[in-house]
Amino acid sequence: MEQRIGVFVCHCGINIASIVRISDVVKAIGDYPGVIHAEEYKYMCSEPGQSMIQKRIKEKKLNGVIVAACSPTLHELTFRNVAVRSGLNPYRCEMANIREHCSWVHHDKDMATAKAIRIIRSLVEKVKLNEELEPLAVSITKRALIIGGGISGIQAALDIANAGYEVILVEKSPSIGGHMAQLSETFPTLDCSQCILTPKMVEVAQNRNIKLYTYAEVDNISGFVGNFKVNIRLKASYVDWDKCVGCGLCIEKCPTKVSSEFEENLSKRKAIYVPFPQAVPNKPVIDREHCRYFATGKCRVCEKVCELKAIDFEEEDKVIEEDVGAIVVATGYQLYDIQKIGEYGAGKYKDVITGLQFERLLSASGPTGGEVKRPSDGKVPKRVSFISCVGSRDPELHKSYCSKVCCMYLAKQAMLYQHRVPKGKATVFYIDIRSDGKNYEEFVQRAQEEEKINFIRGKVSKVYEDNGELVLHAVDTLSGEPLEVRTDLVVLGIAMTPASDIDKLTKILKIQSDKDGFLTEAHPKLRPVESLTPGIFIAGCAHFPKDIPDTVAQSSASASKVMEMFGHKELSHDPMVAWVDEDLCSGCGICISLCPYDSRVLEIKEGKRIATVNEILCEGCGSCIAACPSGASQQRNLQDNQLLKMTDAVLSE
């Protein structure tokens, strides 16, 4: 093929032109073999600049284009689209970076100019050998998997389902609803959490586009964006939910009582149970670990009382497979282990409790019917102390981050306590108050001004029991007064951490998490709901502690990303991927262990082991190519011979 390459050198205003002598570059490169046209312009990315390139491609019948300007990260797509509009294959267009790699990092004009010429020369050599490529088409299964059925997963599921796509919602506990179902009233409006949540739970159950798997876990995921295969383990509930009508007789007659997870261990549930009365689905499961029959081989009372014969002790876990095109991870949070806060006697003293436990004490459907009674003796506490930043903002001993919601919920809980016990005395110990949401600061001010709640700036050092009272050692850092505060109940605003099984899930999904286990977004500002793995999105507290409005917003954002993907007929994939010269491949398999995307697979072809490439999975990272001992693995448009020619062009005089 006759090479008819055009080089377009950009000034980038003064960004390049103040250091690199553009006219010298144009002159030098115009004489380089294969280059039949060279030209400069002040802003190549501007509309006139793009039109100029477009015009020249047609006029000069160019079959290769190099734009010497900024980084390809910024404008490669811009100029490849120019090529397409001019009838040139976009992969015959390359950018030579003479800004970040040259003018921005040098001062000497002569040397910078010489370097710019060398950079462009090497790209000319590359384009000479560039193949005409077409993007790879990938089909999409237009169904989404949502992992986690808290408010985050519920919101994402409803949004996607209401847009007309199928959704599979997997929740590990027997009911959807998550932590939000446990809350009493929500800040800053004080509307009842269950009242706003349960209609959404019912909507999930009734939506025809949503397939709900509760008491289920994701076991394994294979495949890639648009084409995931998911193995879902349906845990044995020992109750046939198709037969069961949720009459509750089995629960009433069950003789075994165990601590209720939903009530945060403040009350008991039976071994066969529905987590809470508004559960969706409202069907019981048998807790195998505590069931008397499973422990001793005797009982089966539930089976005897069930007229519908719904109890099935022989049931086993089932693993089913579902095809999905996109995944939203919304696995939420759990509280940091209270036992680790030794100086507050948490776990030792019954009346030192977590914020979630206090939510249950405030909740009208909670173990005390909404009356605040302390766990030790059931008395109404006359004085309650709330401590913020417990385990949070403590890089030395616990978690370094701010858990974001504690300031607000402690202010709310103090306020609700004051409403329930008007003569009671609520004290909040804080270090800083973070009330950065709509109407949040006004809410905290209301707690101080109208409810007269005492806010003390200082961290409690120690809590101990004395004569049936709890004693707090603190200091008011504003007045400098040491304080010894006697109280009846201590509520800890304890740190939030990712759900306990997040590590297992990140391995299955091949997505990344940070040092604390929170899922990593693709870009902290511009791509906040995408993971680094295409087709997997993140929402809610699995990403970082956040309140309900933020969680809902992020979940809707994830849903819209999924819908954006599903709006296409098919996905296109960059064709600059690895390929293998089957004559050279010895089937050693080094590439397979190195590939971070599982795109290299060993196959037997005519009796010979060949490490083939799944082009759709390949992200073109080049690890396998660098490692291949026989040179059989190559990357399209970055072949070994291209790289050698490019190196020669850079080094030769």
Partner 1 sequence: MDNIIDKISDISGENIYACYQCGKCSAGCPSVEQMDILPNQVIRLIQIGRVELALKSNAIWVCASCFMCSVRCPRGIDLSKIMEALREIHLREDIDHIDIKDVRRENVYELPQIALVANFRKQTG
DSSP 103: I
Q: How far is the CB of 486 from partner 1 (least distance, A)?
A: 15
Contact 246, 265 (CB under 8 A): no
Closer to partner 1 by CB, 37 or 340: give it. Answer: 340
18: amino acid identity, one letter: S
Q: How far is the CB of 258 from partner 1 (least distance, A)?
A: 36
The answer to whether residue 459 forms part of the interface with partner 1 (CB under 8 A) is: yes
Closer to partner 1 by CB, 465 or 582: give it. Answer: 465
Which one of residues 292, 420, 446, 473 is an interface residue with partner 1 (CB under 8 A)? 473
Binding mask 419-438 for partner 1 (x = CB under 8 A): ------------xx------
Which residues face 137 on adjacent strands? 572
Q: How far is the CB of 445 from partner 1 (least distance, A)?
A: 22
DSSP 312: -
Contact 206, 161 (CB under 8 A): no
The answer to whether residue 340 forms part of the interface with partner 1 (CB under 8 A) is: no
Which one of residues 233, 283, 360, 393 is an interface residue with partner 1 (CB under 8 A)? 393
Using the rule CB under 8 A, give the single segment among 48-56, 181-189, 190-198, 390-398 that binds partner 1.
Answer: 390-398
Contact 152, 214 (CB under 8 A): no
Cβ neighbourhood burial of 367 (10 Å; 0-12, 13-18, 19+): buried
Distance CA 161, CA 163 (A): 5
Longest CA pairwise span in the chain (Å): 96
Which of 434, 266, 286 lies closest to 360 in space, CA to CA? 266
Q: How far is the CB of 496 from partner 1 (least distance, A)?
A: 17
> Residue 297: which region, alpha, beta or left (left: phi > 0; alpha: psi -120 to 50)?
left
DSSP H helical ranges for 314-428: 355-362, 406-420
67 — phi, psi (to 5°)? -105, 115
Using the rule CB under 8 A, give the single segment among 135-143, 480-488, 510-518, 525-533 that binds partner 1.
Answer: 480-488
DSSP 518: P
Closer to partner 1 by CB, 337 or 394: give it. Answer: 394
Give the total of residues touching partner 1 (CB under 8 A). Answer: 24
> Residue 261: which region, alpha, beta or left (left: phi > 0; alpha: psi -120 to 50)?
alpha
Closer to partner 1 by CB, 431 or 532: give it. Answer: 431
Closer to partner 1 by CB, 462 or 608: give it. Answer: 462
Distance CA 425, CA 372 (A): 13
Which one of residues 397, 584, 626, 644 is an interface residue with partner 1 (CB under 8 A)? 397
The answer to whether residue 482 forms part of the interface with partner 1 (CB under 8 A) is: yes
Q: How far is the CB of 463 from partner 1 (least distance, A)?
A: 11
Distance CA 403, CA 493 (A): 9
CB neighbourhood size of 200 (10 A) = 18
Q: How far is the CB of 527 from partner 1 (least distance, A)?
A: 31
CA distance readout (Å), 474 to 132, 133, 344, 491: 72, 69, 12, 15
Which one of residues 433, 474, 494, 495 is an interface residue with partner 1 (CB under 8 A)? 474
Distance CA 174, CA 234 (A): 11
Closer to partner 1 by CB, 398 or 546: give it. Answer: 398
Which one of residues 398, 546, 573, 636 is an interface residue with partner 1 (CB under 8 A)? 398
Which one of residues 100, 110, 343, 581 is an interface residue with partner 1 (CB under 8 A)? 343
Closer to partner 1 by CB, 470 or 632: give it. Answer: 470
Which one of residues 150, 366, 458, 535 is an interface residue with partner 1 (CB under 8 A)? 458
Which of 480, 486, 482, 481 lies closest to 463 in space, CA to CA? 486
Q: How many CA atoms lie within 13 A of 176 on its CB side?
A: 32
Using the rule CB under 8 A, give the single segment among 109-117, 130-138, 232-240, 473-481 that binds partner 1.
Answer: 473-481
Closer to partner 1 by CB, 282 or 385: give it. Answer: 385
Query: What residues numbered 260-299 form the site for partner 1, per CB under 8 A?
Result: none
Contact 161, 338 (CB under 8 A): no
The answer to whether residue 395 forms part of the interface with partner 1 (CB under 8 A) is: yes
Closer to partner 1 by CB, 312 or 394: give it. Answer: 394
The answer to whether residue 486 forms part of the interface with partner 1 (CB under 8 A) is: no
Following CA atoms 257, 262, 267, 270 in sequence, which dihedral angle do they give, to the nearest 10 degrees?
A: -20
Closer to partner 1 by CB, 44 or 352: give it. Answer: 352
Closer to partner 1 by CB, 273 or 344: give it. Answer: 344
Which one of residues 457, 560, 590, 643 is an interface residue with partner 1 (CB under 8 A)? 457
Which one of residues 67, 356, 460, 505 is an interface residue with partner 1 (CB under 8 A)? 460
Q: How far is the CB of 471 from partner 1 (least distance, A)?
A: 12
Q: How far is the CB of 517 from partner 1 (least distance, A)?
A: 20
DSSP H helical ranges for 480-543: 502-509
Closer to partner 1 by CB, 307 or 396: give it. Answer: 396
Distance CA 163, CA 159 (A): 6
Closer to partner 1 by CB, 491 or 610: give it. Answer: 491
Contact 587, 608 (CB under 8 A): yes
Which residues face 272 on adjacent strands? 286
Q: How far is the CB of 396 from partner 1 (least distance, A)?
A: 3
Distance CA 31, CA 70 (A): 23
Q: How far is the CB of 307 from partner 1 (least distance, A)?
A: 58
Q: What is the CA radius of gyration of the chain?
A: 32
Q: How far is the CB of 432 from partner 1 (least distance, A)?
A: 8
Closer to partner 1 by CB, 215 or 429: give it. Answer: 429
The answer to whether residue 471 forms part of the interface with partner 1 (CB under 8 A) is: no
Closer to partner 1 by CB, 11 or 393: give it. Answer: 393
H helix or E strand, kind and range, residue 625 = helix 623-627
Distance CA 537, CA 558 (A): 6
Using the rule CB under 8 A, give the single segment among 72-80, 287-295, 477-485, 567-575 that binds partner 1.
Answer: 477-485
Contact 52, 41 (CB under 8 A): yes
Q: How far is the CB of 459 from partner 1 (least distance, A)?
A: 4
Which one of residues 5, 254, 389, 578 is an interface residue with partner 1 (CB under 8 A)? 389
Closer to partner 1 by CB, 383 or 459: give it. Answer: 459
Length reported for the chain: 653
The answer to whether residue 480 forms part of the interface with partner 1 (CB under 8 A) is: yes
Contacts of residue 546, Cβ cutoff 8 Å, sequence gap at least 6: 404, 405, 540, 554
Which of 541, 545, 182 lies closest to 359 in space, CA to CA? 182
Q: Which residues bind partner 1 (CB under 8 A)?
A: 343, 389, 393-398, 431-432, 457-462, 473-477, 480, 482-483
